[in-house]
Structure 1
Amino acid sequence: MNLFKLKEHNTNVKTEFTAGFTTFLTMMYIVPVNGFILADAGLPMDAVVTATALITILATLFSGLWANTPIAMSVGMGLNAYFSYGLVLGMKIPWETALGIVFLSGLLFVILSFTNFRVWIMTSIPMNLRRAISAGIGTFIAFIGLKQMGMIAASDATFVKLGDFSQPTVLLGVLGLVLSFVFYAYRLKGAFVFSIAITSFVAWMSGISPFPTNYLSAPASIAPIAFKLDIISALSLSLLPVIITFLITDMFDTLGTLTGIGARADMFQNGTKEDKSLQKTLEADAIATSAGSLLGVSTTTAFIESASGVEEGGRTGLTAVFTAMFFVCTLFMLPLFKAIPSNAIYPVLVVVGVLMFTELGKINFEKVDLATSAGAFFIVILMPLTFSITNGIAAGFLVYTIIKLTKREFSDLNIGILTITLISLLVFILQG
């Protein structure tokens, strides 16, 4: 165990084991949730569930051994929804090409992880716009969750309207949503897992969904999706903004997660050349994204649920190793996952969306200028309205830069912002 330097981190095997199990409980929901989301894009759910479990095991294990940090990794919420509903269903991009986009963004992240680019991009973009991006993704996935549950529906007159709450499936979604919020509010470990379990049980007992006949089975083959990515088709000028969107969003998500967890565990705070933990965790995240696309899933990233393990005392990569070991169980739970009704799953998207949206509260709109306020507004509002993270980011940076140029506040503009603005302009030119 000297590999993990337990004594230096004031921890022990028992503490790391408990922390690993806690992290597993809080993020186990991602396996069935990702299966449902990517299945909507046409990928076979059986293969996606196995691939999600595999990349979670491999990425988390690699993170623990390579970076020696208690950071678990899996398929990221937000970008998996964008993959299915924004690219495949919205832009009509084949899922094989979408996987190629994920691979290329991950490859760029791998290359840039070994440079100072991450520092440059993070210092170039104002913190308030970064917070708006997180909040915008929150509104996007919450909108998807509400739509999939039937709580909102399409309308010819007003585009959207309230759904039909007389339908048992919609009421089931409401139950799942209430349970998710209540359990999370009480900081129950595995809140999402318990809400899914109880909602599913109610659906089975009431006859809304058939009761599962089997609970365990051998892992399904990932052959239908593994190595099916189409990199050649993804190498298109029109898809460059999408690749950049995946890259930037993954980078923001990862750095935001690591910053939050690091503050609690006193990690990633040193900032010296001797402190390689942040650098190695970023490298693990980037490599996992490219590896995940090869297996057939969307962007892999560090999970904020790792904070639950940190709260239990996890301080080293042994926590992540134990988490990966527990996820082996999910490889054999396919029949149970398939029996879960969709409206027990989609409430999780709404709650995660709300949690991401709270980043907007950190922006003091009374003190920021018009450029920041307008940029943040367009980022947040256009992601759900256009069903595209790319469009939201592009519109927000264009508005921000135009107002800054008009007011001749050139000192607030740097090469990073101008580069993203030019890419944002390319988004609308290519769409036109």
Structure 2
Amino acid sequence: MDIFKLKKNRSDVKTELFAGFTIFLTMMYIVPVNGFILSDAGLPMDAVITATALITILATLFSGLWSNTPIAMSVGMGLNAYFSYGLVLGMKIPWETALGIVFLSGILFVILSLTNFRIWIMTSIPMNLRRAISAGIGTFIAFIGLKQMGMISANQATLVSLGDFSKPEVLLGVLGLVLSLGFYAYKIKGAFILAIILTSIVGWIVGIGSVPTQIFSIPASIEPIAFKLDILSAMTLSLLPVIITFLITDMFDTLGTLTGVGTRAKLFQENNKDDKSLQKTLEADALATTAGSLLGVSTTTSFIESASGVEEGGRTGLTAVFTAMFFVTTLFMLPLFKAIPSNAIYPVLVVVGILMFTELGKIEFDKTDFATKAGIFLIVMLMPLTFSITNGIAAGFLIYTIIKLIKKEQKDLNLGILVITFISALAFIL
């Protein structure tokens, strides 16, 4: 265990074991949730569930061994929703091409993680716009969750309206949402997976979904989705903004997660020149995204749920290794996952959306200039209204740059902003 430097990090095997189990409980929900989300894009649910479990195991294990940090990784919430509902269903892009987009964004992330690009991009983009991107993705996935549950529905006169709450399925979704919010508010470990289990039991009792006849089975084959990505179709100028969107969102998501977890665990200290853990964690994240697209899933990223393990005392990569080992059990839970009613799953999207939206609370609007306020507004509003993360980011950066130019505040427009603005313009032109 010396490779994890437990004594140096003031930890021990028992502490790391419990920390790993805690992370497993808090993020286990991603396996069935991702299965439901990507299956909406036409990917076979059985294969997706196995692939999600596999990439979680492999990415988390590699992260622990390579970076020696308690950071778990899996398929990212937000970009998986964008993959299914924004690209495949919204833009009518074949899921094979969408996987090619994820692969290319991963390759770019791998290359850039070996350079100082992350420092350049982080210093180029105002913090408030970065927070707006997180909040916008939150509104996007919450909107999707509400729509899939039937709590909101299409309306010709008003575009959207309240759904039909007389339907048992909708009421089941309401129960799942209340349970998810309540358990999370009380900081119960495994709040999401517990809410999913209880909602499913209620659903089975009232006849929504079928009670599983067995819980464990041999893992489904990933052959229907593995290595089915279409890279050549993704290498078109019209899809460049989408590739950049996946890249930037993954990078912000990862850096935001690592900053939050690192602060609590006293990791990634910038004043320590010998600390290479941040660089190595970014490299692991980038490689995981690339590998995930080969297995047949959307962008893989660092999970904020890793903070739960840090709170339990996890300080080294051994925590991540134990987390990966616990996730092996999910490979054999296909019958249970498939029996879960969909409205026991989608409430999780709403709660995750709420958590991401709270990033707006960190913005001091009374001290923010109008260009930034306008950019924030369009980013947050247009992501759900246009069903596109790309459109939201593009509109936000365009209006920010235009207002800065109108007010002759060119000094605030560095090269990074101008490059992203140019790509944003391509998003609308193409």
* TM-score, with structure 1 as normaliser: 0.99
Q: Is the aligned partner of 1:220 residue 2:220? A: yes
**How much has 1:209 moved relative to structure 2?**
1.7
SS for the counterpart of 2:74 is: strand
Where does residue 318 of structure 1 map in the other structure?
318
Instruction: Note the C-alpha offset of 1:400.
Output: 0.3
Match runs of 1:252-267 below 5 Å = 252-267=252-267
How big is the shift at 1:273? 3.2
- Match of 1:216, SS state, is coil
Summarize the alignment of residues 46-125 of structure 1 with structure 2, pairs less than 5 Å apart.
46-125=46-125
1:345 paired residue number: 345
Partner of 1:142: 142
Alignment of 1:325-340 (within 5 A): 325-340=325-340
Task: Say which is worse superposed, 128-137 or 268-277, in terms of deviation.
Answer: 268-277
Residue number in structure 2 paired with 1:363: 363
Residues 140-289 of structure 1 correspond to what in structure 2 (within 5 A)? 140-289=140-289
RMSD: 0.5
How many residue pairs match? The answer is 430
Q: Which letter maps to 1:203?
A: G
Distance 1:232 1:270 in 2: 39
Partners in 2 of 1:126 and 1:11 — Cα distance?
Answer: 37
Q: CA deviation at 1:41?
A: 0.1
SS at match of 2:216: coil
Shift, 1:144, TM fit: 0.1
Residue 7 of structure 2 corresponds to which residue in structure 1? 7
The DSSP-based 3-state class of the residue aligned with 1:154 is strand
User: What fraction of aligned residue pairs are identical, expressed as a percent?
Assistant: 82
Q: Give how far 1:352 is off.
A: 0.1
Counterpart residue identity of residue 140, structure 2? F
For residues 137 and 220 of structure 2, the distance between their equivalents in structure 1, rounded to whole angstroms, comes to 31
Gap regions ≥5 residues in structure 1:
none
What is the Cα deviation at residue 214 of structure 1?
1.4
Unpaired runs of 5+ in structure 2? none
Aligned residue runs from structure 1 range 121-136, under 5 A: 121-136=121-136
Match of 1:393 in 2: 393
2:222 aligned partner, one-letter code: I
SS of residue matched to 1:366: helix
Quote the Cα distance in structure 2 between the aligned partners of 1:32 and 1:213.
17
Q: TM-score, normalised by structure 2?
A: 1.00
What code does the residue aligned with 2:397 have? Answer: F
CA distance in 2, matches of 1:199, 1:350: 15
Which stretch of the first structure deviates more once superposed, 359-368 or 101-110? 359-368
Moved over 2 A (4+): 270-273
Give the distance between the partners of 1:377 and 1:389, measured in 2 at CA: 13
Corresponding position of 1:34: 34
User: 1:271 offset after TM fit, Å?
Assistant: 4.1
Q: Aligned partners of 1:32 and 1:401: how far apart in 2?
A: 41
The residue matched to 2:160 in structure 1 has which SS?
strand
Give the SS at the match of 1:157.
coil
SS of 2:346 mapped into structure 1: helix
CA distance in 2, matches of 1:58, 1:212: 28
Deviation at 1:205, TM superposition (A): 1.1
> Shift of the alpha carbon at 1:145?
0.1
Deviation at 1:416, TM superposition (A): 0.1
CA deviation map 1:245-304 (0-9, x unaligned): 000000000000000000100001234431100000000000000000000000000000
Name the residue aligned to 2:421.
Answer: 421
Q: d(CA) in 1 for partners of 2:313 and 2:268?
A: 16
- Per-residue CA deviation, residues 199-255 of structure 1 (Å, 9 max, x unaligned), is 000001111222111111000000000000000000000000000000000000000
